[in-house]
Amino acid sequence: MAFVYQLIYVSSTFLAFVLGALVFFRRRDQTVVRLFAGFIATGICWVITLYFFYFFTEPALLLLTGRLNFLFSELTAFFALAFVYHFPKTTFRLPRWTFYASISVTAVLCLVTLLTDLVDENEVIQGVSRVTEFGRAYPLFMAYLGLVIAALVCILVRKYRELKDEARAQLLMVAGGLLVGFLFAIVTNVLIPWRTGNYETQHYGPLSLLFFCLLMGYAVARHELLDIKVLATELFVFCLLLLTVINNVVSVTPIGQVISAGTLVVGAIFGALLIREVHRDARQTEDLRVLSERLAQTNVHLKEMDVTKTEFISIASHQLRTPVSVIKGYLSLLQEGAYGKLSETVLEKIDQMYAANERLVHLINNILNMSRIEQSRLEFRCSDADLRTIIADVSDEMKFKVKDKGLILECDLPPVGTAKIYTDAEKIHEILANLTDNAIKYTEKGSVRIAGRVVQEGGEDWVVLEVSDTGLGISEEGRKRLFERFYRVDAPGSARQTGTGLGLFICKKFAESLGGKIVVTRSEPGVGTTFEVRLPVKSTGQCAPSENK
As measured in angstroms, the least distance from the Cβ of 331 to ligand ADP is 23
Task: Tell whether residue 189 is a contact of ligand ADP (CB under 6 A).
Answer: no
As measured in angstroms, the least distance from the Cβ of 528 to ligand ADP is 8
Q: CA 78 to CA 113: how far, in whole Å? A: 15
As measured in angstroms, the least distance from the Cβ of 341 to ligand ADP is 37
Nearest to 474 by CA among 501, 453, 451, 452: 501
Q: Of the candidates 76, 102, 260, 438, which one interacts with ligand ADP according to CB under 6 A? A: 438
Q: CA 20 to CA 34: how far, in whole Å? A: 9
Helix (H), strand (E), coil (C) string for 12-39: HHHHHHHHHHHHHHHCCCCHHHHHHHHH
Q: Of the candidates 41, 432, 474, 518, which one interacts with ligand ADP according to CB under 6 A? A: 474
Task: Tell whether residue 488 is a contact of ligand ADP (CB under 6 A).
Answer: yes
Phi, psi of 386 (to 5 degrees): -115, 125
What is the sign of the dihedral through the CA atoms of 62, 64, 65 and 67?
A: positive
Task: Tell whether residue 44 is a contact of ligand ADP (CB under 6 A).
Answer: no
- Determine how β-strand 517-524 pairs with β-strand 528-536: antiparallel
Q: Angle of helix 344-374 relative to helix 503-513, nearest 10 degrees?
A: 50
Task: Tell whether residue 440 is a contact of ligand ADP (CB under 6 A).
Answer: no
Task: Tell whether residue 466 is a contact of ligand ADP (CB under 6 A).
Answer: no
Q: Of the candidates 63, 482, 514, 533, which one interacts with ligand ADP according to CB under 6 A? A: 482
Assign 3-state DSSP to the chain and report helix, strand, coil percentages, each to 5.
70, 10, 20
Task: Tell whether residue 365 is a contact of ligand ADP (CB under 6 A).
Answer: no
Q: CA 147 to CA 139: how far, in whole Å? A: 12
Using the minimum distance from each CB to ligand ADP, give the nearer residue, 359 or 377.
359
Give CA angle at 261 (256, 267), nearest 5°: 125
Site string for ligand ADP, 105-124 (x = CB under 6 A): --------------------
Residues 89 and 39 sit within 8 Å (Cβ to Cβ): no
Task: Tell whether residue 226 is a contact of ligand ADP (CB under 6 A).
Answer: no
As measured in angstroms, the least distance from the Cβ of 469 to ligand ADP is 5
Task: Tell whether residue 199 is a contact of ligand ADP (CB under 6 A).
Answer: no
As measured in angstroms, the least distance from the Cβ of 491 to ligand ADP is 7
Phi-psi region of 127 (alpha: psi -120 to 50; beta: other; left: phi over 0): left
Q: CA 368 to CA 483: how far, in whole Å? A: 17
DSSP state of 340: -
Using the minimum distance from each CB to ligand ADP, give the nearer residue, 212 or 505.
505
As measured in angstroms, the least distance from the Cβ of 407 to ligand ADP is 12
Q: CA 222 to CA 169: how far, in whole Å? A: 10
As measured in angstroms, the least distance from the Cβ of 504 to ligand ADP is 3
Give the number of residues in contact with ligand ADP, rule: CB under 6 A: 20
Nearest to 380 by CA among 504, 534, 513, 506: 513
Q: CA 286 to CA 279: how far, in whole Å? A: 10
Using the minimum distance from each CB to ligand ADP, give the nearer residue, 37 or 407.
407
Site stretch for ligand ADP (CB under 6 A), options 85-93, 162-170, 279-287, 500-508: 500-508
- β-partners of residue 214 are none
Q: CA 143 to CA 133: how far, in whole Å? A: 18
Using the minimum distance from each CB to ligand ADP, give the nearer residue, 276 or 522.
522
Site string for ligand ADP, 394-433 (x = CB under 6 A): ----------------------------------------
Task: Tell whether residue 64 is a contact of ligand ADP (CB under 6 A).
Answer: no
Q: Of the candidates 74, 120, 234, 469, which one interacts with ligand ADP according to CB under 6 A? A: 469
Site stretch for ligand ADP (CB under 6 A), options 79-87, 93-101, 329-337, 487-495: 487-495
As measured in angstroms, the least distance from the Cβ of 448 to ligand ADP is 9
How many Cβ atoms are within 10 Å of 404's Cβ, its own excluded? 11
Task: Tell whether residue 515 is a contact of ligand ADP (CB under 6 A).
Answer: no
As measured in angstroms, the least distance from the Cβ of 390 to ligand ADP is 19
Burial class (CB in 10 A: 0-12, 13-18, 19+), 362: middle
Q: Of the candidates 16, 84, 428, 489, which one interacts with ligand ADP according to CB under 6 A? A: 489
Task: Tell whether residue 504 is a contact of ligand ADP (CB under 6 A).
Answer: yes
Would you tell me which residues interact with ligand ADP (CB under 6 A)? 438-439, 442, 469, 471-472, 474, 482, 487-489, 494, 499-505, 529
